[in-house]
Every structure is written in structure tokens, then in C-alpha cells.
Amino acid sequence: MVTAARLFSSFPSLPKLKSTKIFSPKSSLIKIKSRPHSARSISILASSMDSPFYKTEDARVPPAVNMPTPLLSKFKIALCQLSVTADKERNIRNARLAIVDAVDKGAKLVVLPEIWNIPYSNENFPVYAEDIDTGASPSISMLSEVACTHKITIVGGSIPERSDSNLYNTCCVFGSDGKILGKHRKIHLFDIDIPGKITFKESDILKAGDNLTIVDTDVGRIGIGICYDIRFPELAMLYAARGAHLLCYPGAFNMTTGPLHWELLQRARAVDNQLFVATCSPARDTSSGYVAWGHSTLVGPFGEVLATTEHEEKTIVADIDYSFIIERRANLPLGNQRRGDIYQLVDVQRLKTK
């Protein structure tokens, strides 16, 4: 048998490597190692990321789009981790107070939790569901009014929505004029069975949404997911390919999956796509039938936790600066290193609308 040591010892000794710096138009300065009189090798190494054989642009179908320039590239975001009771009117008043408090602290973007207006349960969804499209929704009316009054953007957590005979877990995004910019119906329903821990099946009551939701706001291009949606990296990758600055996931992870997966998934989505990720949970209520993990969090494009809270009711306010996205993508130019000759991410809906 030929060992690695014997194999390499059979080759003649090679000259000592020296550093060569080459500028690639699609990346930062590249520093490579080359041997004397090996100009051809240098050329191949330097152009490897830009090689037509790698088909970098083909890694996203259709090709990825650039992030737009938002009205505000530096601003404060507020994550309102709300206590939820069986009294919907009280929950709506409480949410309004939390939003106004966030505005007083300088927030231009406010994010609410998943199912913040009623306790989270399959039994409650049909009882408390609101018809958003017809305007018969006190929760949506409050969010629209407060967004317009204070000239802020609101990612309105989620509420149970009734549409015809269907029920959805729905998040509305409001512009600073109070108008709904987008409505995201939870795409991936929370159906899990961990014996001895937790069993839940949203699909017994709810219908899954069929569309991605990405909206242009005063505070940037935002991609929306709800709770279980965060487990699917494809969704986040599609949002990034559509030019998102920020992904917002209202979510209510539980006491089984929360400790292990909540922060892990947020940081993974952020570092994979080199953008900001914000999550907002209900506060923990140990007397509830469904106990939320809490820990609403903002993660930066390097996977760093920028702000977080514990499990109690609390609003956290943190700074977002989109220049860090550009900086981190220059540090790690993943977008110029993808291998379209090996793999592709296909945005089916964008292809259909072309």
C-alpha cells in the first residue's frame, strides 16, 4: 500500500512559496501563494472565482438582485416581547402601549410576536380569528393607526386570520403611512411530535400560505417568516437573493426546541445570508397550555447577537446599520464564490412572473 508520506516523498522538492497579490474585480484583494516562473498557475488561481466554468451567477435562478438603497440605512429597531392573556382587547391595548414606548425610545421599526393577541392554541384560532381583508380586524386597525400616527414601520407579529372558510397564521407589515405593505401567511406549519415532550399540529386547524413576502419599507427591504418558517434555509436564501437587508421572524418556540434551536437558527440564517435577522417571541407564561421560550433577539450579518432579552415581558431597542452588510460581504465574498456549475437555488415564483 502506498502511504501519503511515501507518495509525497517521491516528488522532487519544490521551491519555497512566495506571496503574490492579485486584484479580482469581483472580490477584494486576493493574496495567493505562487512559485517562481509559474505565471500560468498564478493566472488560473487568480481567476478561479471569476471563471465562466464556475457560473457564479447561475447559482441563483433567476440571478440575485442587489439590495436597494433604503430611506434609512441606520435606525433603531424595537422587539416587543409581550405578555398574552385570554382577553384580546387587553392584549391589543398592551401591544399599543409597547409600540408607543418603543417610539419614545427612538425606534423606527417595531416588531411584535407571533400570535400576540390571543393565547397560542388550535382551540383558540377559530374562536378569535379576524377577517383582515374586509377590515373587520381590531388588531390590524390598531397597528395601522399607530404606524400612521408615529410614522414608523411595523412588522405586526401574527394573528389568526379568517379568509372565507380558511384559517391562517398571518403577519401584516405596515408602512409609515399606516397602509399594509405585505401580508405573510405562514408557509411551513408547525407539525411536530417529540414523544414525552411536545406534540402540536397546526395543520389540523390552519391552512399554509403559498407566497413569499418581501416588502420595501422606509427601513429597508424586509423578508418575512413566521416561527417554523425559520427552520427552512431555502426561504431565507430566496429573500437574500431578492435583495433583503433584514429578515423578521415573529415566533413562539417552546421549552423543548427553544433552548437548543432558537438562537442557533437565527444566527445560521444571518451568517448564511450575511444580513440582519430579528425575531420576536411572546413572553413566557408557565400557566399557559403552550409555554413560549421567549428570548427575542437581533442578530447581525456576521452571526453576532446584537441584542436579546430573557423570557419576561420586555421591549428591547437596538441599532441597525446596513453598512455592516456591505462590510461583511466584502470580508467574506460568498456571493462571488458560489458554484453555479454544481448547484442552483431556483426562485419558482420569480420565474413564473418573468
For 107-159, give the DSSP string: EEEEE--TT-SS---TTHHHHH-BBTTTTB-HHHHHHHHHHHHHT-EEE---E
In whole angstroms, give the CA distance from residue 352 to residue 39.
46
Q: Contact 212/188 with Cβ under 8 angstroms?
A: no
**Is 114 one of the annotated active-site residues of the chain?**
yes
Q: Look at strands 107-111 and 74-81 and give their pairing.
A: parallel
Any bridge partners for residue 180, and if so which?
Answer: 174
- Residue closest to 225 by CA, chosen among 178, 261, 305, 171: 171
| 40: three-class secondary structure by DSSP | helix
How many Å is the Cα radius of gyration of the chain? 24
Q: Which of 130, 171, 186, 248 is flagged as catalytic? A: 186
H or E element that contains 69: none
In whole angstroms, give the CA distance from residue 176 to residue 251.
23
In whole angstroms, give the CA distance from residue 14 to residue 163.
72
Q: Which of 80, 171, 172, 227 is flagged as catalytic? A: 227
For 286-339, give the DSSP string: TTSSS-B----EEE-TTS-EEEE--SSSEEEEEEEETHHHHHHHHHS-GGGT--
**Is 248 one of the annotated active-site residues of the chain?**
no
Q: Which of 80, 88, 114, 248 is flagged as catalytic? A: 114
The three grid cell numbers given for residue 4, joined into one nine-digit string: 501519503
H or E element that contains 198: strand 198-201
- Residue closest to 113 by CA, chosen among 231, 284, 281, 279: 281
Any bridge partners for residue 30, and if so which?
Answer: 22
Sign of CA dihedral 135, 138, 140, 143: positive
Task: List Cβ neighbours of 124 (8 Å cut-off, separation of 6 or more).
Answer: 118, 160
**Is 186 one of the annotated active-site residues of the chain?**
yes
Q: Which residues are catalytic?
A: 114, 186, 227
